[in-house]
Amino acid sequence: MSKTFEEDNKTLNIEIELLLEAIFKKYGYDFRDYGKAHIKRRVLHRLASSKLESISHLQHAILYDEEYFKLILKDFSINVTEMFRDPSFYKKLREEVIPLLKTYPFIKIWHAGCSTGEEVYSMAILLKEEGLLDRTQIYATDFNQNVLKTAKEGIYPIDKVKEYTHNYQKSGGIHSFSDYYTAKFESVILDNELKSNIVFADHNLVSDKVFAEVHLVICRNVLIYFNKSLQDKVLDLLEKSLIPGGYLALGSKESIRFSKSNKEFDTVDDKEKIYKKKLSIKKA
């Protein structure tokens, strides 16, 4: 019995490898350096909810039917987020980073992997309260067109508002969270003013190049889905997108410590994973 499981599992892993190769060759989306356990879970989940009998059959369906590809693309991207997720992070950002951003006449922020936009609007609220929104340009990017559409609309389910309000207060918000939205039926619509300086755009961290030169890069809970070499590659891209003295913010379980980019940064806050790009790098 166990022999069979081991054999079957080996075959399964071969099929998944071939599937990712096929997706890359046919559609250009590269998941080959994503964490294997995550991808396997998502593929098997898709297979279980289809009527197909194996991953090889799924591969056939994806190659010949773009709609099937779109389904798997959705499966692979994680779009779970919330406003002011990890309030202590936003508090630290407000206390440690904002005062330095204020010294610039014009500020650019890149939010890489913005998903459905909740954290982008959280940032916009923070900037507004600090008097910086008018002179800030936020670029918010994701590889998934569907989530970008939701992000642009800025409309969220009303049942989340209680949690968001709580997060907002814990993050050091100085007004009332209800100042920033209008409730309508089952939804809340975020104020247009928050959206005015945000550009939402399609960008793939795995395959696209440097996006802009910015003062702050926010890329949270994206790198955890990548293997070591892809993480190094993307961190390098993020580093190159920052001005000297610019800031990088990662997710709470992500770190630059063991990456090649480590030497390019000083740590601003180890717990909240905020780093500052060094002003000049001494060449060896």
| Interface ranges with other proteins (CB under 8 A) | 1-2, 5-6, 9, 13, 35-38, 40-41, 78, 80-81, 221, 224-225, 228, 251, 253-254
Residue placing its CB nearer to other proteins in the complex, 107 or 234:
234
Residue placing its CB nearer to other proteins in the complex, 37 or 284:
37
* Min CB(208)–other proteins separation in Å: 22
Q: How many CB atoms lie within 10 A of CB 66?
A: 12
The angle formed by the CA atoms of residues 193, 136 and 237, to the nearest 5 degrees, is 125
Residue placing its CB nearer to other proteins in the complex, 49 or 182:
49
d(CA 19, CA 50): 16
d(CA 186, CA 131): 31
Residue placing its CB nearer to other proteins in the complex, 41 or 175:
41
Q: Give bridge partners of residue 110 from the DSSP assignment.
A: 139, 217
Beta strand 107-112 with 136-142 is parallel
* Min CB(223)–other proteins separation in Å: 9
Q: Which residue has the tokens 């060094």?
A: 278
* Min CB(12)–other proteins separation in Å: 8
* Min CB(5)–other proteins separation in Å: 5
CA atoms within 13 A on the CB side of 95: 12
Residue placing its CB nearer to other proteins in the complex, 2 or 280:
2
Residue placing its CB nearer to other proteins in the complex, 45 or 263:
45
d(CA 53, CA 188): 42
| Nearby residues of 161 by Cβ (< 8 Å), 6 or more positions away | 177, 181, 183, 188
3-state helix, strand, coil in the chain (%, to 5): 50, 20, 30
* Min CB(213)–other proteins separation in Å: 29
* Min CB(245)–other proteins separation in Å: 28
Residue placing its CB nearer to other proteins in the complex, 80 or 284:
80
* Min CB(82)–other proteins separation in Å: 10
| Cα dihedral 139, 140, 143, 147 in deg (nearest 10) | -150
